[in-house]
Chain A
Amino acid sequence: MEGSTDTAASEGRSRLGRRLLTERLSSYWLQGAGYFAIALFAFIVLALLYQSLPLLSEYSLVQVLASSNWNPAENEFGFLPAIVGTIYVTALTMVMGTPIAILAAIYIAEYAEGRTKTLVSSFIDVLAAIPSVIFGLVALIVVVPFVGDYLAPALGSGATGTGIFTVSLVMAIVVTPFMISLAVESLEALPDELRESSLGVGATKWETIRIVLLRAAGPGIFSAVLLGFGRVFGATIVPAMLIGGQTQLPSSPFSTGQTLPTLIVNDFGELMSIPLTQSALIFVGLMLVVIVWLFNFSAMLLRRWLQQRWQY
């Protein structure tokens, strides 16, 4: 009798020991996974930086960033056209996409009901899941002729249809559903008490949305827009298909151009054999990574501030 309680007690103890061991191991494992992400990022940045050094030892940073001559065959590495092209595409896309995304999200989260709501939001989700190369293909058939034959002439431009504006339009179509989905989620996550409190003092639905809900969901909507921004900024396939690669500074939003990612894909195969070109393209990659990182970091700070200011 006594012996059996002893075994039971020691069994209990060893079981506890095993559980505590698992506990400790799992926390190490999770910690390891976290540090691995940091290490990976550092590794990527360092690898890119190391491979960029040949270019940076030949030319100064100011030279490559401010020069608008891109001609790797002649050892001319000016990134300005691609930088301007990237800024154009990103800004135009966000200007077209963000207001529509926010309005559509408000409609779906606050106005649409029943079957309409299910239908609309499921289509938005499908659109968000379509690979962007498909949008690029459809755009080649539809948007390019439309811009080339109607829109550009109407605005007094002789553009052929491919170019910065077309890319922006298509990218807006690509990222808007994605931003809508995320923005709807943050609106729907708001507690009903917020709506009841505001309506309960006699506010209208629109006042409630504008003053209360958009603030309360503000940090979430901000993140949605930011993730959209990240996707546009790093977009490769749609710009590569539609921007009509040319290496001069773009003269108008309808003109053809380059973005930083298209620079890499266009010249990747043929020119990588020239050492300095390879270094230049890797430097483009470095710029992309650093800018995205800086952007995310400052966005995190801004988001924190918003969350503090608009907490509920």
Chain B
Amino acid sequence: MTDTALTTENLAVTYTGNREVEALKGVSLEFPANQLTAIIGPSGCGKSTLLKSLNRLHEIQPNVEITGDVLLRDRSVYNTDEPVPELRKRIGYVPQKPTPLPLSIYENVAYGLKIHGRCDSKDELDERVETYLRKVNLWDEVKDRLDAPGAELSTGQIQRLCLARSLAVEPEVLLCDEVTSALDPISAETVEETLADLKEEYTIIMVTHSMDQAKRLADEVVFLYLGDLIETNDTRSFFENPQHERTQQFVTGHTAVEYTESSEESGADSETVPAER
């Protein structure tokens, strides 16, 4: 029914700096198109590493080794003639920390459009900038001060500006790394609403530290633990009927009342399932 936008095949990433860290230990996954997949797991388990290796952003650091492959629509992201910037245009990335470019609000959104020569006229550019600012529910808040520096917005607004900047180049897949974790609860809610709107049209892969957020937003959930893929499932099954002991522990450790019952249930029969590691 759903087709697959992005596939990882036995993807392993090792940081070879002073201390060798196997951040990902061979992860094979399928990310369905036009759905929102949430990657969860305790901090340091390799979520950001997985996300960045999907569009080769980890390559900007020295001392990283990667094996395995990533396929975008069945074509390798690593063994290809396609220039990396072209690839990253198709797989956009929004970092955890709200980061405006040192440009005006308008130029922040126009940045990618200009680089890729997407617009022939100023009018067309204006129109696109407006379209994407509307798409992230920011237009009404900034339409009177488009020439102000992007950094003058509040962090919640900046995070939506970052989304608009990424969306403006029409990526096929959007990678979001804990985009609400640096925000106050109210801004986080606005950004979350924006993501909920966007997931109709885009393939979104989102790292989150919040189970509740994953429950609210995600269609699919991927659970990583110490660089290993533990479990992946559609959101409902994942939370209501986790298959692995680790998942159960993680889910119960974080969930509130609503899931207690089901997790206790599965907690009980987990004792019969041999622990994987």
Contact = CB atoms under 8 A, between A and B. Distances in A.
17 contacts: A191-B99, A193-B95, A194-B102, A196-B57, A196-B60, A199-B60, A200-B94, A200-B166, A201-B89, A201-B169, A202-B85, A202-B86, A202-B87, A203-B111, A309-B149, A310-B102, A312-B150
Contacts of A114: 62
Contact of B115 (A191, A195, A203, A218): A203
B186 to A, nearest CB: 23
A191 B62 CA distance: 16
Contact of A200 (B95, B116, B168): B95
B87 to A, nearest CB: 8
A212 interface: yes
B102 A113 contact: no
A201 B102 contact: no
Q: Nearest 4 A-B pairs (CB), nearest first?
A: A202-B89, A200-B93, A201-B112, A311-B151
A210 to B, nearest CB: 11
B92 A201 contact: yes
A207 interface: yes
A312 B151 contact: yes
Contact of B102 (A193, A195, A215): A215
A212 B60 contact: no
Contacts of B160: none
Interface string A107-139: 000000110000000000000000000000000
B97 interface: yes
B62 A113 contact: yes
Nearest to A308: B149
B203 to A, nearest CB: 15
A177 B61 CA distance: 26
Interface in A176-211: 191-204, 207, 211
B57 A199 contact: yes
A202 B111 CA distance: 10
Interface string B77-91: 000000001111110
Contacts of B165: 197, 201
B208 interface: no
Interface in A282-309: 308-309
Give chain A's interface residue range (CB within 8 Å of chain B): 20 to 34
Given A200-B88, A201-B88, A201-B89, A310 B149 contact: yes
Contacts of A191: 97, 99
Contacts of A198: 101, 111
B111 A201 contact: yes
Interface of A: 113-114, 191-204, 207, 211-212, 215-216, 218, 308-312
A114 B116 CA distance: 32
B100 interface: yes
Interface in B130-146: none
Interface of B: 52, 55, 57, 60-62, 85-90, 92-97, 99-103, 111-112, 115-116, 149-152, 162, 165-166, 168-169, 175
A78 B152 CA distance: 52
Contacts of B115: 201-203, 207
Nearest to A219: B102
Contact of A201 (B61, B150, B166): B166
A209 to B, nearest CB: 12
Contacts of B175: 200
A199 B92 CA distance: 9
Contacts of A193: 95-97, 99
Given A196-B60, A212-B101, A202 B149 contact: no
A192 B55 CA distance: 16
A245 to B, nearest CB: 46
Interface-centre pick from A194, A200, A203, A204 (highest chain B CB count, 10 A): A200
B85 A199 contact: yes
Contacts of B168: 201
A201 B57 CA distance: 11
A197 B149 contact: no
B99 to A, nearest CB: 4
Given A196-B60, A203-B115, A215-B103, 11 more contacts: A192-B60, A197-B94, A197-B95, A197-B101, A199-B85, A201-B166, A202-B92, A202-B112, A207-B115, A218-B102, A311-B149
A141 B85 CA distance: 50
A194 B100 CA distance: 8
A194 B101 contact: yes
Contacts of A204: 85
Contacts of B99: 191, 193-194, 196-197, 312
B174 to A, nearest CB: 10
A207 B90 CA distance: 18
B236 to A, nearest CB: 31
